[in-house]
Amino acid sequence: MSNTPLATLIEHLQTAECYPHAISSFEVFETHISYVILTGDYVYKFKKPVDLGFLDFSTLEKRKFYCEEELRLNRRLAPAMYLEVISVHGTPEHPVVEGEGPLLEYAVKMRQFHTADRMDLVTARGELTSEHIDQLAMVVAAFHEVIPVAASDSAFGTLEVLQQRIMQNFEQILQNTDDSEIKDMCAQLHQWCEAALAKRRDLIAQRKREGAVRECHGDMHMANIILPEGQPVIYDCIEFSDDLRWIDTISEVAFLYMDLDFHHQHKLALRFMNQYMSRRGDYAGLGMLCIYLVYRAMVRAKVNSIEAKQQAANPEVVADYLATTRRYLALARNYIESFASPVLIILHGMSGSGKSWLAEQLLESYGAIQLRSDVERKRLLGFEAEAKTKSAVGKGAYSTDITRQTYQRLLELAGLIVQAGPSVIVDATFLKKSHRAEFKKLALSLNVPFVILDIEASEKVLRSRISKRMKHDKDASEATLAVLEQQIKSREPIEADEAAATILVNTEQPLELDKLVQQIKNKTTVN
């Protein structure tokens, strides 16, 4: 601990008599901007009196302000954790929390959590589940819906700001290392970023106009999320920099996606993105996803290069930090490559055939965004995904006109997604050849491979699955046995001119996922 007035205060605050509650133990953590005192039930976070340019805690008044900001901002996602801003009085040698005497300092008081519940540590133990991810996607999507939108005349989210932040990463990495491999990787990424920003100039401005730039968390990675009893709580947002907090919501989503990826959780990263998109419908944001993924990986690469320079006296530690720097840069490069070859996949099959289940398996293994007709149909009408429209067969939400609008919306979104870079799986019945033909035409116009997955099961199995699903009543689908009977009568089977693009999948048989993925790849190389 450094020899400063605050350090002295922190040292003497490790005494039970200083606090108005029982103390079970003391533990102190120090970062470059704060001291954190753990007392068993509560945590006290003190800001250091520093001015680092990107943050300024140099005066008592500023520290009070940013303590209050930290409380305000973090209560949005972790209200039970962030309790109050407290003051410390007395003398540095005899301090009292919320006591009498001269004012010494301010701190944020929080409820202490179990470190083992932290998402990165849960993941390291192999305990992170799809249920965790679904809950997290729901929390983040709901959060992004209600947070304030950046003023149109502000600089937040502009091309200039984004360009500056991205290019600063390259400058700082190169300042901190002479490693030739890192320099070569940075040169490649720098060239791509310049071109990508220029290409997205209009989209960046559009995102700002349409309200995508909001007062986000700003630092949403796995170490800032806890999973007590499986329920995600997101904490420790950025309070010290408006620029780092007022960002495109997709930039925030990209950070967590990238972090999951880095921790070898690619399938769950894809699941998180799909669940988020399904809830928010912000498919236009996918046009910015790749560049934000690259940006977030570059930020982490920069941090590790700084750490490497700071540890120059320890060659083994330096080597570890540089290896991690290279890994982040490689991840950034991989995003660029993977977004360069999208595929358009549609699913053809009646209700109960297993389309949504199969799509879920594929999107996690193949790497794709899922579009569900059941979700987008309801979104058109202002319904939540799992809400029931109570429409009769061929009526209301399932009328001919709404069905036409739904397929048109799916067509527009599919085009938007594949142009952004990801592959797309369109989950709808596609019982009419005309609907299938429209998507084939789209794929041809965009010069992307097109695949039809023909999903089949016996009528007996279809009826059984629908009956079971109706009992659970938790899926977006509203298909009933009456709907199925109508589909059986009106379906238009795959014809000879569609066969070249079609793969038959019988969902009554065990799924050989690797084999199916290879079949898709084979189709996409010849189509």
Predicted pLDDT of residue 116: 95
Q: Which span out of 168-172, 248-252, 351-355 was modeled with the highest average pLDDT?
A: 248-252
Number of C-beta neighbours around residue 470 at 10 A: 14
pLDDT in tens, 40-85: 999 999 999 999 888 899 999 999 999 999 999 999 999 999 999 9
* Paired residues of 27 in beta bridges: 38
Predicted pLDDT of residue 488: 83
pLDDT in tens, 369-412: 999 998 998 888 887 766 565 655 556 566 888 889 999 999 99
Q: With H, G, I as helix, E, B as strand and everything else as coil, classify residue 211.
A: coil
Predicted pLDDT of residue 296: 96
Q: How confident is the model at residue 353 (pLDDT cuts 50, 70, 90)?
A: confident
C-alpha dihedral, 247 to 215 to 205 to 371, nearest 10° = 80
In the predicted structure, residue 1 carries a pLDDT above the cut 50 = no
User: Averaged over 262-287, what is the pLDDT?
Assistant: 94
Question: Contact 347/453 with Cβ under 8 angstroms?
Answer: yes
In the predicted structure, residue 322 carries a pLDDT above the cut 70 = yes
Domains of the chain, earliest start first: 5-112 (3.30.200), 119-338 (3.90.1200.10), 344-526 (3.40.50.300)
At 310, the amino acid letter reads Q
User: Averaged over 312-325, what is the pLDDT?
Assistant: 91
489: phi then psi, degrees, rounded to nearest 5:
-75, -35
User: Averaged over 260-281, what is the pLDDT?
Assistant: 95
Q: With H, G, I as helix, E, B as strand and everything else as coil, classify residue 369.
A: strand
pLDDT in tens, 109-121: 999 999 999 999 9
Q: How confident is the model at residue 437 (pLDDT cuts 50, 70, 90)?
A: very high
Predicted pLDDT of residue 479: 65
pLDDT in tens, 183-225: 999 999 999 999 999 999 999 999 999 999 999 999 999 999 9
Predicted pLDDT of residue 9: 95
pTM for the model stands at 0.90
User: Averaged over 160-180, what is the pLDDT?
Assistant: 92
Predicted pLDDT of residue 445: 96
C-alpha dihedral, 14 to 42 to 231 to 238, nearest 10° = -70
Check residue 51 and report its DSSP letter: B
Round the average pLDDT of the chain to a whole number and report it.
91
Closest CA to 503 of 435, 470, 465, 456: 456
User: Rounded distance, CA 100 to CA 280, Å?
Assistant: 50
User: Averaged over 294-302, what is the pLDDT?
Assistant: 95
Predicted pLDDT of residue 393: 59
User: Averaged over 8-36, what is the pLDDT?
Assistant: 93
